[in-house]
Amino acid sequence: MTQGRPLLNRRLAEFGTTIFAEMSALAVRTGSINLGQGFPDTDGPEEIREAAVRALRDGHGNQYPPGPGIPELRTAIADHQRRFRGLAFDPDTEVLVTAGATEAIAAAMLALLEPGDEVIAFEPYYDSYAACIAMAGGVRVPLTLRAPDFRPDLDALRDAVTPRTRLLLLNSPHNPTGMVLTREELSTIAALAVEHDLLVVTDEVYEHLVFEGEHIPLASLPGMRDRTVSISSAGKTFSYTGWKVGWVTAAAPLVAAVRTAKQYLTYVSAGPFQYAIAEALRLPDSYFDSLRTDLRRKRDLLGDGLRAAGFEVHQPQGTYFITTDITSFGEKDAYAFCRALPERCGVVAIPNSVFYDDPDAGRSQVRFTFCKRDDVLHDAVGRLRRLAP
Ligand SMILES: Cc1ncc(COP(=O)(O)O)c(C=O)c1O
C-alpha cells in the first residue's frame, strides 16, 4: 500500500493469480501429471515449425511486422474462413492478427465497451473474460450453464438483456464444459442480438475440435455479419500455443475499432510465426481431420478412465477438456479436491468452481485435459484408479 491505498486497482482487485499458474506450479512441485492447463505435450506439424525456422533465418518478421498482421497471414485467414465456414472477409479491412485469442478478447472489450456497459457471458467463463470485461470497466452478467449437459437457457438469456446490455460474449466449442452450440441455439441468440441491436464477440478457438455435431460460426447467421466479432487462434488448431498467433474477423468498422485498442496493447507480435501460421492454415483437410480423430480417441481414453476411477463424466462434444463431477466420491469442494489430488494420486486437474460467479453452480466440478500423449494419458488413468473405492 502507498497513501493508504491498495496497489492493485479496484477493477482488478478480485483477480489473483490464474488458477492455471497455481495448478501448473503444483504439478511441477509434486512431480504430478499435469492434466490441468490446456497445452499439448507434443508440438504441432514439423513442416510448420520448419516454416518458422525458415522465416527466422531469412529475416522474415524479425522486425516489426505490419500492425494488422502480415498480408500473407491475413489472406490465409480469410481463405480459411471461406474454405471451412463459407464466410468472405476482405484480408485488408476485415482481418486483424493478434497476440493470441487472449489479446483479441482484451482488445475487443477495451474497444467496444463504455464503463458500465453490461456483457452477458456464459459461466463457467474462460478466465480471461471476467478480467478483460473488468479492465474495460464493463459489468459481467452471467448466463449459467448447468450440468449435466450445459445447454444455455435461452429464456434466461432473454431475461438477462437490459437497456444497458452492449454485447454478448460467446464461446463455442465451450471451455471448460465442451458444450457446442447448435444451429437452433445460435439462431435464437442471433435473433435476440438483432432484436436488441447487440454486438456479439464469439471465441471460436476450438473450432476444429468438434467431435459431435458441427461448428457453426455465428457470423454466418442472418443479421450477424455486421455485428459479430469472430475470434480464433492457431494455438489449439496447430498445437503451438506458445506462439500466440490469434486473429479477429469482422466487418471493417468492427475490425477498425478492435485494431485501435490492439495497437496500444502489443502493437504487433510473433513476426516469424505469422509466416508459419500462414502456411499452417493452408494444410490439407487430412490434417484437420486427423487432429479431430486423434483427439476424439484421447477423449474416449481419458473419459473411460475417469469413469472407471469413479468420476461422473460430462461427455464433451468439443474442445480438449472433460468436466467431471466429484460428488460420487462423497466430495463437494472441487478446489480442495484439486489441491489434494497430487498427494492422493499424482495428477493435477482444474476446479471449474473458479470459473463461476455462482459459487454453487460449479462447486463439485473438476476439469481434466486430454491433449496429452497416449502414454501420459494411460499413466494418468492408472494413477486415477487409486481413487476408486
Ligand atoms: C476459450 C479460450 N479462449 C481463448 C484462449 C486463449 O487462446 P490464445 O492462447 O490464442 O491466446 C483459450 C486458451 O486456453 C481458451 O480456452
Residue 231 maps to which CATH number? 3.40.640.10
| Residue 1 covered by a domain | no
CA distances from 175 to 136, 208, 331, 358 (A): 22, 14, 23, 17
Q: Do 262 and 328 reside in the same domain of the chain?
A: no
The yes-or-no verdict on residue 1 having pLDDT over 80 is no
The number of beta carbons lying within 10 Å of the beta carbon of residue 31 is 8
Pocket test for ligand 1, best of 233, 248, 369 (most atoms within 8 A of CB): 233
Ligand 1 neighbourhood includes 40 CB (under 6 angstroms): no
CA of 276 to the centre of ligand 1 (A): 19
- Residue after which a domain boundary falls, among 280, 315, 341: 280
Q: Is the pLDDT of residue 389 over 80?
A: no
Domain count, the chain: 2
Give domain status of residue 206, yes or no. Answer: yes
Q: Which candidate, 208, 198, 184, 207, places its Cα nearest to that of 229?
A: 198
Could you tell me if 68 and 39 lie in one domain?
no
Atom of ligand 1 nearest to the CA of 175: 1
Backbone dihedral region of 223: left (phi > 0), alpha (psi from -120 to 50 degrees) or beta?
A: left
Ligand 1 in contact with 38 (CB < 6 A)? yes
Beta strand 118-123 pairing with 350-351: unpaired
Whether 100 lines ligand 1, by a CB cut-off of 6 Å, is yes
18 inside domain? yes
DSSP 223-264: T-TTTEEEEEEHHHHHT-GGG-EEEEE--HHHHHHHHHHHTT
Q: Ligand 1 centre from 102 Cα, in Å?
A: 6
Do residues 88 and 226 share a domain? Answer: yes
Q: What is the pLDDT of residues 62-91, one digit of tens each?
A: 999 999 999 999 999 999 999 999 999 999
Q: Is residue 235 part of a domain?
A: yes
The overall longest dimension of the chain from CA atoms, in Å, is: 61
Final residue belonging to a domain, choices 249, 280, 311: 280
Q: Kindly state whether residues 236 and 334 are assigned to the same domain.
A: no
Instruction: Tell me the three state secondary structure of residue 144.
Output: strand
pLDDT score recorded for residue 337: 96
Distance of CA 296 to the CA centre of its chain: 18
| Structural domain contains residue 358 | yes
Kindly tell me the burial class for residue 389, based on how many C-beta atoms sit within 10 Å of its own C-beta (0-12, 13-18, 19 or more).
exposed
Q: Are 124 and 245 part of one and the same domain? A: yes
Q: Are residues 344 and 313 part of one domain? A: yes
Class of residue 315 by CB neighbours under 10 A (exposed 0-12, middle 13-18, buried 19+) = middle
Residue, of 17 and 272, whose pLDDT is higher: 272
Is there an atom of ligand 1 within 6 Å of 126 CB? yes
Is residue 4 in some structural domain?
A: no
Residue range(s) defining the domain that contains residue 211? 46-280
Instruction: State the residue for C-alpha cell 460428488.
Output: 327
Ligand 1 proximity of 44 Cβ (cutoff 6 Å): no
- Are 86 and 75 in the same domain? yes
Residues 159 and 304 in one domain: no
Average pLDDT, integer, range 281-303: 98
Choosing from 280, 298, 319, the residue where a domain stops is: 280
**255 and 175 belong to one structural domain:** yes
pLDDT at residue 127 greater than cutoff 90: no
Q: CATH number for the domain including 344?
A: 3.90.1150.10
Mind listing the pLDDT tens digit for each residue in 360-370?
899 999 999 99
264 CA from centroid of ligand 1 (Å): 21
Query: Is the CB of residue 318 below 6 angstroms from any atom belonging to ligand 1?
Result: no
Q: Kindly state whether residues 175 and 137 are assigned to the same domain.
A: yes
Task: Please indicate, yes or no, if residue 351 is contained in any of the structural domains.
Answer: yes
Cα of 101 to ligand 1 centre, how many Å?
6
pLDDT of residue 114 exceeding 90, the answer is yes
Question: What is the percentage of the chain residues whose pLDDT exceeds 70?
Answer: 100
Does residue 139 fall inside a structural domain?
Answer: yes
Residue 305: Cβ within 10 Å count: 22
159 pLDDT band (50/70/90 cuts)? very high
Within this chain, do residues 54 and 192 fall inside the same structural domain, yes or no?
yes
Any residues with CB less than 8 A from the CB of 347 and at least 6 apart, and which?
A: 32, 33, 35, 341, 368, 380, 383, 384
Residue 26: pLDDT above 90?
yes
pLDDT surpasses 80 at 298: yes
pLDDT tens digit sequence for 222-251: 999 999 999 999 999 999 999 999 999 999
Q: Are residues 382 and 372 in the same domain?
A: yes
CA-nearest of 18, 14, 100, 124 to 367 is 124
Cβ–ligand 1 contact at 207 (below 6 Å): no
pTM above 0.75, yes or no: yes
- Give the number of the atom of ligand 1 that is nearest the alpha carbon of residue 99: 11
